[in-house]
Chain A
Amino acid sequence: MTAQLVDLLLLRAGYNSAVVVAGAAALGLAAGVVGSFVLLRRRVLVSDAIGHAALPGVALAFLAGLALTGSGRHFGLLLLGAAASGTLGVLLVQAIRDHTRLPEDSAIATVLSLFFSIGVVLLSHIQTLPAGGQAGLNALLLGSAATMSLDEARLVGGAALAVVAVCALLTKEFGLLCFDAGYAAALGWPVRRLDLMLSLLLLAVVAIGLKTVGLILIVALVALPPVAARCWTHRLGRMAALSGGFGALAAWLGAAVSSLWPRLPTGGLIVLVAGGLLMLSLLCGPARGLAAWWRSRPA
């Protein structure tokens, strides 16, 4: 078993599983990098809203696929459904925040639970269909790397790398947005469009994380790596890179382990690894956490 795990980790356990593990690692990288900016912009919970809001879209996409082709499991279609209803959820959160007196956290809680309950009702309907029993839609909630096909993993990896590339190009602009949006607007930077761009990248990460981490736990992969990375550095660029590294490491290990034991949900394993990295960072990180506190305490 240990030898198998080592093979998986070193991407030697056959082409298919290597691609699945690498795709997961790319997703972790993207989630960590985007998560850094989302955390600094104080929008982490938005990723939770997107994840939960995506569920009805996924269920509807499954039903649409079933009606059109006889099978609901078209990954591309499920992604589109997730992205569409995730977008709707985010827009609704923004509308509630901008046009009512409810603060953003209440808006998120409202939208998140509303969309999720619609999704759960649709899912239980799907379970009663003849084709629905083995639909494996539960895997979408908690992640199941073992059920990923080669094409799906390639799609996830490619999209994740694209997200990372955009973040790398816009690091300076996103940094300005996160630190001082008012100043950015005063200088004429399109703050609303930059926010929209960041939301779109987040949406992409949540959607492609569908099968790897699952819709419920994706928020952890967006939130934990940047918090851990902040413990090690005081510089934005390094924090984003390190956060991406932590995310990739967590996703890689989690995906490899759950490929060996397919009954373990991949998302849970990935988040456990990310949580371990966070604990380690809090204990040892020189910039934040216990070590930093110990060093800076008055002698």
Chain B
Amino acid sequence: MVALLKFSPRRPPPPPLSRSPLAVQGLTVAYGGEPVLREVDFVAPEAALVAVVGPNGAGKSTFLKAVLGLQPRLAGRISCYGHPVERQRRLIAYVPQRSSVDWDFPASALDVVAMGLYRRIGWCRPVGARHREQALACLAQVGMADFARRQIGQLSGGQQQRVFLARALAQDARLYLMDEPFAGVDAATERAIVEVLRSLRQRGRTVLCVHHDLHTAPDYFEHLLLLSGRVVAAGAMAEACTAAALEEAYGVRLPAGGATAVRAG
């Protein structure tokens, strides 16, 4: 028995998975042979708002999709609260890009928000009155309670974005991944999203948010993941968001307003 054990090929035990909301090690993703992300290492702190920033084609959305398992990864380990991410799906909420769906779909705002509850409702069971109440409460959190019965195609872009946000809130997750929720929205929506982000952080949730606007990033987020096919900078906004890092990621000199205008969250 001892001899058998001795001769059995032993791999070194994998290092224990981090307990943090999201820990990514050596993530590499390719589209048709062309690597989009190389060797990404990132750890998201507890109760943090993280801006995922980078130029077009930097792999920001790909990063979120790889974490969610929507994009196969060539290499890398991803854990969520101490377990492989595949087993933690119910802890992760997702806000896809607004342009990823057909808003002409026959559904009301409430119908879409209720989709965030489907996992809890379970297979083959209808959406009940209790679930509709929960969905309505989530719509109210983004200031959209009055539009619950409206067909989604008749909502403005910002309102549609808020419906997606409410759907993610309905999941009642611990880690939120958002793909450009601020893209092309009106001021009211921007305020509503920021309010939701702050309340999520207050409740100890962690949010990773793909964000395009370098000027507002330091106002809304206190952590940064700066991507450009790899990790250019990561960490607390004040330290990571430097003019040098931005220049390295974007390839041009940018006014480093971000680095100086950090406000205490």
| Chain A residues engaging chain B, CB cutoff 8 angstroms | 40, 169-173, 175-176, 178-180, 182-183, 185-189, 230, 233-236, 238-239, 287
Contact = CB atoms under 8 A, between A and B. Distances in A.
Contacts of B108: 234-235
Given A186-B69, A186-B94, A175 B123 contact: no
A110 B191 CA distance: 52
Contacts, number: 77
Given A173-B123, A179-B112, A182-B100, A187 B118 contact: yes
Given A171-B126, A187-B119, A234-B153, 6 more contacts: A40-B106, A173-B118, A178-B105, A187-B89, A234-B107, A236-B106
Interface in B94-122: 94, 96, 100-102, 105-108, 111-112, 115, 118-119, 121
Q: Is the interface of B mostly helix, strand, loop or mixed?
A: mixed
B68 interface: yes
Given A172-B127, A180-B101, A234 B171 contact: no
A186 B100 CA distance: 14
B90 A188 contact: yes
Q: Which of A40, A171, A187 has the most CB of B within 10 A?
A: A187
A183 B106 contact: no
Interface residues of B, number: 31
A179 B89 contact: no
A282 to B, nearest CB: 16
Considering the complex of A and B, which 5 residue pairs feature the smallest CB-CB distances, nearest first? Answer: A188-B89, A234-B151, A186-B68, A186-B94, A169-B124
A176 B70 contact: no
Interface string B34-74: 00000000000000000000000000000001001110000
B101 A172 contact: no
A230 B102 CA distance: 14
Nearest to A238: B106
Contacts of B112: 179
B101 A179 contact: yes
B107 A176 contact: no
Contact of A187 (B94, B125, B127, B153): B94
A247 B88 CA distance: 43
B92 interface: yes
